[in-house]
Every structure is written in structure tokens, then in C-alpha cells.
Amino acid sequence: MAITSANQLELLQTAEAVAREKMIDPDLVIQAMEDSLARAAKSRYGAEMDIRVSIDRKTGRARFTRVRTVVEDDAVENYQAQLTVAQAKQYKTAPQIGDEIVDEVPPVDLGRIAAQSAKQVILQKVREAERDRQFDEFKDRKGTIINGVVKREEYGNIIVDIGRGEAILRRNEKIGRESYRPNDRIRAYVKDVRRETRGPQVFLSRTDPQFMAELFKMEVPEIYDGIIEIKAVARDPGSRAKIAVISNDNSIDPVGACVGMRGSRVQAVVGELQGEKIDIIPWNADAATFLVNALQPAEVAKVVIDEEAGKIEVVVPDEQLSLAIGRRGQNVRLASQLTGLDIDILTEAEESSRRQAEFAERTKLFVDALDLDEFFAQLLVAEGFTNLEEVAYVDLDELLSIEGVDDGTAEELQARARDYIEAQNAKAIAAAKEMGVEQSLFDFDGLTPQMIEALAKDDVKTLEDFATCADWELAGGWTTVNGARVKDEGILEKFGMSLEDAQKLIMTARIQLGWVDPSELEAEDAPEEDDEEETEE
């Protein structure tokens, strides 16, 4: 096929037809044609030549040119595409390094093989352009709901026609035992859009918590308008769900707006989710209040929050325990997902027995360590004393405020507590030295003898060993394993060591060892302080 005036306009017509069919820019098709013609020309004139083709967008005329670049004398590697400054002077009066010498060459006749090759290049370019167009179209749909038609099922996965492309609904993203047949209409949440070699892959989900949130946004105009805000969602797909909402307008009830007249709005969502029961809960900035709401319909007697551990204890009446936990732990699991806290549920009887056990344990400590009778030890515990350090170093007036305690008794209590602590310290130091703890660790401020003994039992025996510890190794922490929060016990956690305290101690040890320059730390902190000052101004 020769590029003649007879088929010049046909090139443009073909490009426009392909562009319309594939819904891509006609210019991309013409660029693909230019690349394919250039490749065919190289096979005719020589692969080492830099042959370029430009097609006039109005007339369709294809112009073939040979391009040679001016390079330094010792940099010529390809004599067909490069030339020296001296060689370029016969084409240009004052050639410079990097200049291009362009010569027009005769158009080529495309033989059968060359024409087939050109066609493949064009098709490949068009496919790439089509994939880019599809990815650009669907990447902005991520996080929204899309409607489609079921095309087929492959190994439990559903292939969905979404208009200008296909999407996949994986088996584990379907609600319960949902089944679909070809041509069924389906609504799903666009969970992810990935650019892959075979084209953009659109992944759908009907189990994602955000699918329910988007459904409410479609059914409740106040959510769409931003008057009501969805703060958290937790789902057990196909069974039960909880959604926390808050109103930015005091005159609008967020729960009532989501329920709708006679439950019309929530029922529309329930119908789409295959009958999934939905608890609509008012969100509250106070974690305890929010949790009480989240555990509905169970009644809560008391809430105890450990913010550092991200853990919360809920005390419920004995008869409310099964309701609070829910079938197979469903209610408490959803409440935990909704609040982001690890929840322990206790009955009032269990909490009472635990309090009694703690009371008895502290009473025994004071009886054994301070040589007191049980009644007096119980009196100390009842007044809020939890350990010997509090008794030994508390202000004397606090002991004198206890009924029946005079100056002499208070001083004797403190003396006994201090003697016991010193004896325990001496015992811990001896045990630590026996285990091989170096003096550098004893001289380090911030660690008690009992802490040093505990570190030694964990094979931390030098200041260098201590400086290589991570903060969570000392203070403990929480990690998530298979969706469940697992406790990591810290070496010094039983001594009340917090993560912040552990970080400070470890950094101090590193500075003392010369591993960290304190001036560098100050320099790192300085910009943040400046930013804060600017903000305050």
C-alpha cells in the first residue's frame, strides 16, 4: 500500500472511525499511524536511520524525514543518525552540538508484511490508549457505588459489565450466599482500581463497610448535603451492622433522619443488603458515652477506659451480659470495630469479685511488709493506698487524716515502709549483680533496682543493651494479629512504665553513650517550634 493522494484522506477517516469506536482521541490514533509508518520506513531504508513520519491533520499527507543529530567528533556511534560539526557545515552555516539536520525522504510503499506490521502497531497503540482512557475514567469512581449488569461467573467470582469496561466482584466480597445469573442488575462499591498489563482492573465489594455508608448517602439527603455526618461504620455482612452518625444542625435528629418516615430510608438500605439488621447510633466525642450507645440494645452500668492501652472495660448487669456480647460475640465485636477500642465485658458480680481480690491482695501486702494487723491494713487500702512507695513517701498529713492515726503511728508506718523498700532494693541489686549486670546500668538514672533485676532476667545487662531496646519492649503495647488485638508484655510494664517514659529513658541512654548528638535533636525540633509560633501569631 503506497501512501498516495488517493488514500491520504482515507487515513484521517480511518483514524476518526477508530477513535469514535474506541472512544479515544483521534490524535492518538494518528500518532499510532505515524509510529507504524516510521517503523515500516526503517525496514526499507535501514534500522539504524532515525526516520520520522508526520501526518498532516488536515490533508492526511504523510511526510517522511530522516533526522541526524550533530554530536562531538569522538561521540559518533551511529553514522546513519549522527554527524560531526564539520560534516554538518555542508548542510548548515554554523551548526552547534545538538542541532538536528532534517532531510525529506521519498515515501515508502508498504508491502504485505510491512502493512500487517503497521496494522499491529496501530492496534497496539489503540489498545494502550483505550486502557488509559478506561483507567482515567474509573480511577475517579473509586469509593463510590456503581451499577452494572452481571456478564458471567468464574469460580465464584462475578464479572460485571459497568458500561465502558468490566469489573470483578470476588467471591469473598459478596454478602452471605448471594448468587447471580447473567443479565441480573447489580449495585456494588468500587473498592479499588488498579492499572495492570492487561488493562485497568476494577474491584467491587458488597461487604465493605463503606458500601453501607454510600447507600445511606444516596437514601438520606441530609448526609449527601453534609448536614449529617457518618463518623464510623462496622458490619458483619448479611447479618448485622452499626453506623454512628452526628448532626451538624441541632434542629435535626441524625438517627431519625437516617431511619426516615416509618423506616422508609433505612429499609431501602436493608433491602439492598439482603436483610442486614442495622443499628443507627448517635456518635459522641466522649468515648465512654459513645461506647454505651454502641452497645445498644444492652444496658451499661459502668465504663472504665485505659486510653494508653486502647482498652476499655464495660460493666453490665448480670442479666444483660448475653445481650451485650450478642450471638457469637457479634454485638461486642461490632461495637469494638465502631469505637476502635478493645472491649472487655464484665458482669457486676465479676467486677465486684475482682475488686475484692485486689483489695485482699493489697491488704496482704501491707500486713506482710509493714507487720500490721488485718484491720489496719484494710483501712490503708480503703483510704486509697495501693503500694508501699505511697505509704513511705506520701506527705505525713495524708496519713494523719486517717482516723486513729497520730504522729507517732504515721512516722512508724513510713519508717517500716522505707526499711522494707530498702531491703527489697538491696536484694534486687544483689540478684542483678549475680546475673552479671554491669555498673553502667546501676549508675543510670531513672531505673530502680527492681527494674534492673527485671531487665537482667531478660538479658539486658549493660547500658548498651538498654539503649538498643525499643520503647514497646519496655512499656508493652498492642498489635493486631488476624484482626484481633494481642497484648505484648513489656519488661518494665508491671512497674507502671509508659511508652513516653520508655522513649525518654532510651534516648537519654543513647545520648550518654554518644550514639545520638543532642544538638541534632534540638535542630530537628526547632522548625516545629517555629511553625507553632507562626501559627500562634
pLDDT tens digits, residue range 282-324? 998 888 888 888 888 888 888 877 666 556 888 888 888 888 8
pLDDT value, residue 167? 85
What share of the chain has pLDDT > 70, as a percent?
Answer: 86
Backbone angles phi, psi at 281, to 5 degrees: -120, 135
The owner of cell 456478564 is 151
The residue that leads in pLDDT, 250 or 132, is: 250
Q: d(Cα 57, Cα 43) in Å, to the nearest integer?
A: 25
Average pLDDT over residues 341-348: 81
pTM above 0.85, yes or no: no
Q: What is the DSSP string of 29-46?
A: HHHHHHHHHHHHHHHHH-
DSSP H or E segment with residue 343: strand 342-347
CB 136 within 8 A of CB 127: no
208: CB partners within 8 A, 6+ apart: 173, 189, 191
How would you write 90-155 as a 3-class SS string? CCCCCCCCCCEEEEECCCCECCHHHHHHHHHHHHHHHHHHHHHHHHHHHHCCCCCEEEEEEEEEEC
- What's the average model confidence in pLDDT over 517-523? 70
**Among 80-89, 128-137, 315-324, 424-433, the least confident range:** 128-137
CA distance 452 to 424: 13
CB neighbours of residue 158 within 10 Å: 25
Q: Which residue has 450471638 as its cell numbers?
A: 327
Give exposure, 367-405, as e/b (b: 16+ Cβ within 10 Å). Answer: bebbebeeebbbbbbeeebeebeebbeeeeeebeebeeb
> Do 284 and 293 touch, CB atoms closer than 8 A?
yes
Write down the architecture of domain 5-133 according to CATH: 2-Layer Sandwich (3.30)
Q: Which of 488, 435, 484, 444 is nearest to 466 (CA)?
A: 444
Alpha carbons 377 and 364: distance in angstroms, whole number: 8
For residue 500, how many other CB atoms are within 10 A of its CB? Answer: 11
247-293 pLDDT, tens per residue? Answer: 988 888 999 999 988 888 999 989 888 888 899 989 988 888 888 88
Residues whose CB falls within 8 Å of the CB of residue 7, separated by 6 or more in sequence, listed in order: 1
- 38 CA to centre of own chain: 48
Q: Give the pLDDT of residue 537.
A: 38
When pLDDT is cut at 50, 70 and 90, the band that residue 413 belongs to is: confident
pLDDT of residue 528: 45
CA atoms 171, 176, 182, 187: torsion sign: negative
| Mean pLDDT, rounded, of the chain | 81
Three-state DSSP class for 75? Answer: helix
**Spatial distance between the Cα atoms of 405 and 450, rounded to a whole number of angstroms:** 31
Q: How confident is the model at residue 533 (pLDDT cuts 50, 70, 90)?
A: very low
Return the higher-pLDDT residue of 398 and 257: 257
Q: pLDDT tier at 449 (50, 70, 90 boundaries)?
A: very high
Residues above pLDDT 90, as percent of the chain: 12
Q: What is the largest CA-CA distance in the chain?
A: 120
Assess whether pLDDT exceeds 80 at residue 132: no
Cross-strand pairs, 392: none
Retrieve residue 24's grid coordinates: 479515544
Q: Would you say 312 and 303 are in contact if contact means Cβ atoms under 8 Å apart?
A: yes
Q: State the CB neighbour count (10 A cutoff) for residue 196.
A: 9
pLDDT for res 431: 92
Contact of 241 with 334, CB cutoff 8 Å: yes
DSSP 403: T
- Say yes or no to pLDDT of 426 above 60: yes
23-37, 213-227, 383-397, 522-536: least confident range:
522-536
Residue 534: what pLDDT? 42
**Residue 3 confidence (pLDDT) above 50:** no
Query: Are the C-beta atoms of residues 231 and 282 closer than 8 Å to each other?
Result: no
Residues facing 103 on adjacent strands: 66
The reported pLDDT for the residue numbered 166 is: 81
Give the residue-averaged pLDDT of 105-132: 65
Pick the range with the lowest mean pLDDT from 55-64, 72-81, 304-313, 447-456: 304-313
Q: Which one has a higher pLDDT value, 451 or 142?
A: 451
Q: Report angle CA 61, 65, 69 to the nearest 5 degrees.
A: 150
In this structure, what are the phi and psi dihedrals at residue 535, rounded to the nearest 5 degrees?
-65, -40
Q: What's the CA gap between 83 and 478, in Å, rounded?
A: 68
Is the CB of residue 110 less than 8 Å from the CB of residue 117?
no
Q: Is the pLDDT of residue 145 over 50?
A: yes
Asked whether residue 511 carries a pLDDT value surpassing 80, the answer given is yes
Task: Give the up-direction half-sphere exposure of residue 131: CA atoms within 13 A in the CB hemisphere.
Answer: 14
- For residue 245, what pLDDT band results from cuts at 50, 70 and 90? very high
User: What is the predicted pLDDT for the residue at 23?
Assistant: 67
226 vs 130 pLDDT, higher one: 226
Bridge partners, residue 149, by sequence:
161, 185
Round the CA-based radius of gyration of the chain to a whole number and report it.
Answer: 38
Long-range contacts, 391-397 (Cβ 8 Å, 24+): 391/366, 391/417, 392/417, 392/418, 392/421
Before 297, cis peptide (omega within 30)?
Answer: yes
Domain spanning 142-207, CATH architecture = Beta Barrel (2.40)
Q: Does residue 221 register a pLDDT over 50?
A: yes
Q: What is the pLDDT of residues 195-220, one digit of tens each?
A: 776 667 888 999 898 999 999 998 99
CA atoms within 13 A on the CB side of 45: 23
Q: Cell numbers for 368, please give them.
A: 506482710
Residue ranges of domains in the chain: 5-133, 142-207, 436-525
